[in-house]
Structure 1
Amino acid sequence: MGIKSRLIIMNFLQFAIWGSYLVCIGNFLGRVGLGEYISWFYVAQGVVSIFMPAIIGAIADKFIEPQRLLGISHLTAAVFMLVAAWFGFQATELTLAGEATSIGPIFAAYCLSVAFYMPTIALSNTVAFSILKNRGFDTVRDFPPIRVFGTVGFIAAMWLVNFVGFGGSGVQTELHEGVETLALVPMASQFTYMQLIVCGVLGLVLGLYAFSLPSCPIDRSAAAGHKSLAQRLGLDAFVLFKQRKMALFFLFSMLLGVSLQITNGYATPYINSFAATSESWFAENPTLLVSVSQVSEALCILLIPFCLKRFGIKIVMLMAMFAWVLRFGFFGIGSTESIVGIVLLFLSCIVYGVAFDFFNVSGALFVEQEAAKPMQASAQGLFMLMTNGIGASVGTWIAGKIVSHYCDWQGGFLVAREGVAGGWSATWLVFAGYALVVGVVFAMVFKYRHNPEALGNVKH
């Protein structure tokens, strides 16, 4: 098997692991009476993203070859996720017996799992770049077609857990006087904890597979060996805050990062909530509908080079910010109860590609262009810290509070809270309003002169 094919398999599994639970774990938590803690699971992912990638990266730089560390990290993450699945099974049994479940065991095992998984996202890129370079490939030309299979893997895992029922369709029927009707009943019997087992099994497969990959030698040169602890942890990039332009960019990256995990945590419970009041194929298959977002993401990557060259980083970032407004806004007025409502949900998923890619990918390109070469890796780490670390953690925590204010779990569905006006629509419109304010302020205060030639020389 060719080396590109082997790296394609690595990327496919890397993101299939994530896709197996990221957008549907909320349904599982709701089914076992832990719906109020959904935000905790996404906050934990953001918190570990603040420090674990830097620590694992430093180890890979000095002590353990990246492909071996990739295998060790995945095996460790997989074991903890399987432990979480075991506690999930116990929670399911307790729920079916009408007893209360505890957040502690599941949450602890989950946190340890994501602590070792999140660093592998960057580590897998390191492995791919090292192997391609060692074999004389052009990473600019040859890596993107390999990386796109990561998104394919994410989508494939979402479809798998959806079609086999592990994502939680959230609908049951019962016979009443000979007529089949919808029933608001506990849904734990749908084995939604199985999504965690899928994640763990895929992690074990990739963990073992990583040890078969070609060696990625550690750079033991004098230059590499003389890096300070601050440099190894990416702390030297904070000097960029002395530049007003970069300080504003990182600040708004954090503010926009608030939006990143909100729909991952609450999109499927929201779409699933319509199954409580009406029959709809889309309400019964929320994970499949949300997967349209990832399809859009894969396609929108292809638009970024053109848009950056034509419009510049400020306009592209504004496109992303206002795409988030539409992402949330379409959710706020969409539903599965009418053709128009379904179209609006599809439009929300389609604009997600612009919202996510134009922000993350173009932001990374901007950082590479503006940061000095010796600290480019640290600057990229700082960008990830501000967005997926601090921003996503704070945003998901706040989102949990807002959702809990407007909605409540009833019979396995997250529905409008009695006595509180607005329900799900108000929740999404609050998020849309936030994204709109961030976009408008960014347009007014961020000053940047577009230079098409400079962006045209960016290598990644």
Structure 2
Amino acid sequence: MNNTSIKSRLIGMNFLEFAVWGAYLISMGGFLASKGMGANIGWFYSIQGVVSIFMPAIVGILADRFVQAQRMLALCHLIAAISMIGVGIIGSQSTFDFWEIFPLYTLSVAAYMPTLALSNSVSYNALEKYNLDTVKDFPPIRIFGTIGFIVSMLAVDLLGWQHGPQQFYVSAGWGIILALYALTLPACPTAQRNSGEHKGLVEAMGLRAFALFKHRRMALFFIFSMLLGVSLQITNGFANTFISSFSVQEAFKGVFFVDHANLLISLSQLSETFCILLIPFFLKRYGIKTVMLIAMLAWVLRFGLFAIGTPAFPQVIFLILSMIVYGVAFDFFNVSGSLFVDKECDPSIRSSAQGLFMLMTNGIGASVGMVGAQWVVNQHTQNVNGAQIGDWSSVWFTFAAYALVVGVAFFILFQEKTEKK
């Protein structure tokens, strides 16, 4: 298999990986609001963070030590897909309560969230196996993950399923395809198979990744990753709900983007595809501190522009600008952070270190963030006839202020490495 071929294989994997998520991540909030569950949206998004506290780390340890990462990727996607089919079946009922649908959804995301780190490990392993540069060659491959996300969410929107249970079946379909496809990817070696020496309990369990906290610079990086991770899922959970809420106002009846919120939000993912290409240049030229600061400023703008925008012209321009800024906010943090961790850790703990990064961002950060965000939303809005209406400007300005405080603290405390190891 040549370099072009392996890149194509990884492109296919990344496309499917994020198509699974794109089918429901943006539109699920609108679906829940339409079922009168707007006050519980935060719990569905925060549980993604809760399971990310331990599942990526556990699965990463297994992938590092016992089960090849590409096989673990296949198993996780199969479990997630079967569970998501159950979510779709329950969601198809005319009425259902929180505890009917939430446990199955939790099982699905518990299996899916570790695959975000696993897919990175599979990609990095394959690229190094064929003597390719991860910093240079991975971002163009990762772009197709964003394209998969866009294709999936637009399909759900244009088919009229963004407020229906069909979105969960779409996600399950992508997941089953990827489960089969992952089994054909290059094998990822496990540490046990590569070494005949006896290992202590800590090393055998893959817990050496947590030793990265001994280094002040890495500890600060992970802590601020957690604090910035608070912002990650907020617009995923509430953007569709916010835009769709304008439907109850007579002045916004028939406005295109009110009826097709996913289409407007998809501009965020389109922005990602371009911003990923900027990462190698910015990382090599400016370093991780500047890149992270740019991401934090972008989050401030992301929320602030939501606060002053509406789905109708001319204020829709502010929402469009917010979607464009999102590419910088997400990629300069998530993708750059993953590459930074990969370069700073030993290859023997690669999957564990990626799992740790996921734990801090999509785990602790996102779960705390969504619980807090739901509290803020509930203080300023209420569900009326399937729409979450109220003072959304105050909601978005609150989130913008938080991101600004985190950015200032990071600028003061985090120091760029001054010399190579």
Q: With the length of structure 1 as denominator, give the TM-score of the two structures.
A: 0.83
Q: Which moved more, 1:32-41 or 1:399-408?
A: 32-41
- 1:198 is aligned, of 170, 175, 178, to 170
AA aligned to 1:412 is: G
Following superposition of structure 1 onto structure 2, how do residues 258-269 of structure 1 map, counting pairs within 5 Å? Answer: 258-269=230-241
Deviation (angstroms), 1:369: 4.8
C-alpha displacement at 1:449, in angstroms?
5.7
RMSD over aligned CA atoms reads 2.5
Q: Indicate which of 114, 117, 124 corresponds to 2:119.
A: 124
Aligned-partner Cα distance in 2 for 1:358–1:325: 14
Q: Distance in 2 between matches of 1:80 and 1:264?
A: 21
- Identify the structure with bigger relative contact order (alpha carbons < 8 Å, sequence gap 6+): 2
Contact 1:54 1:232 in 2 (8 A): no
Counterpart for residue 41 of structure 2: 38
Give the Cα–Cα distance (whole angstroms) in 2 for the partners of residues 244 and 67 of structure 1: 33
Amino acid at match of 2:396: W
**Which sections of structure 2, spanning at least 5 residues, go unmatched?**
none
Distance 1:276 1:84, change over 3 A: same
Alignment of 1:307-346 (within 5 A): 307-339=282-314, 341-346=315-320
1:299 equivalent to 2:274? Answer yes
Alignment of 1:433 with 2:408, yes or no, is no
Superposed CA offset, 1:27-83 (max 9, x none): 111111222111111111111112112222333334433333322221111110000
- Contact 2:210 2:356 (C-alpha < 8 Å) held by counterparts: yes
Residue matched to 2:146:
151
What's the counterpart of residue 14 of structure 2? 11
Q: Secondary structure at the match of 1:408?
A: strand
2:367 to 382, 393, 398: 393
1:356 equivalent in structure 2: 330
Q: Which of 52, 59, 70 is matched with 1:56 structurally?
A: 59
Alignment partner of 1:253 is 2:225: yes
Alignment counterpart, residue 78 of structure 1, candidates 81, 105, 108: 81
Q: Structure 1's 312 and 147: CA in aligned 2 closer, same or farther, altered over 3 A?
A: closer
Give 1:171's aligned residue: none
Counterpart residue number, 1:89: 92
| Residue correspondence of structure 1 range 347-426 to structure 2 within 5 A | 347-371=321-345, 375=349, 377-416=351-390, 423-426=391-394
Between Structure 1 and Structure 2, which shows a larger proportion of helix residues?
A: 2
Q: CA offset at residue 148 of structure 1?
A: 1.8
Aligned-partner residue type, residue 97 of structure 2: S
CA shift, 1:375, in A, is 4.9
Aligned mates of 2:263, 2:165 — CA distance in 1: 18
One-letter amino acid matched to 1:294 = Q
Q: Deviations over 1:96-136 (max 9, x none)?
A: xxxxx311121100010111111122223333444455556
SS at 1:23 equivalent: coil
| CA distance in structure 2 between the partners assigned to 1:225 and 1:52 by the alignment | 28
Question: Is the contact made by 1:274 and 1:337 (CA closer than 8 Å) also made in structure 2?
Answer: no
**Structure 2: how far apart are the matches of 1:200 and 1:24?**
15
Partner of 1:241: 213
- Closer/same/farther in 2, CA of residues 143 and 436 from structure 1, 3 Å limit: closer
**How far apart are residue 10 of structure 1 and its match?**
2.2
Distance 1:243 1:414 in 2: 45
Change beyond 3 A, Cα 1:223–1:249: same
Contact 1:48-1:115 at 8 Å conserved across structures: yes
Residue type of the alignment partner of 2:150:
I
AA of the residue aligned to 1:308:
L
Unpaired segments ≥5 residues, structure 1: 95-100, 169-191, 417-422
Q: How many residue pairs are counted as aligned between the two chains?
A: 415
Q: Is the deviation greater in 222-231 or in 17-26?
A: 222-231
Query: Structure 1 residues 224 and 415, CA, compared in 2 at 3 Å: closer, same or farther?
Result: farther
Q: Distance in 2 between matches of 1:240 and 1:369?
A: 12
Displacement after TM superposition at 1:138 (Å): 5.6
More deviation, 210-219/154-163: 210-219
Deviations 1:327-366 (Å, cap 9, x if unpaired)? Answer: 0000001111331x11100111111111111122333344
> Do the aligned partners of residues 432 and 216 (structure 1) sit closer, same or farther apart at CA in structure 2, a change above 3 Å counting?
closer
Q: CA deviation at 1:160?
A: 0.3
Is the 8 Å Cα contact of residues 234 and 379 (structure 1) preserved in structure 2?
A: no
User: Equivalent residue for 1:112?
Assistant: 107
- Matching residue's letter, 2:56: P
Larger radius of gyration: 1
Pair 1:262–1:243, CA change in 2 (3 A): same
Q: Are 2:1 and 1:26 aligned? A: no
Matched to 1:206, the amino acid is L
Distance change in 2, residues 1:132/1:257 (3 Å): closer
How many angstroms does 1:241 deviate by? Answer: 3.0
Q: CA deviation at 1:6?
A: 3.5
Are the structure 2 counterparts of residues 142 and 25 from structure 1 closer, same or farther at C-alpha, using a change threshold of 3 Å? same
**Partner SS state of residue 92, structure 2:** helix
SS at match of 1:409: strand
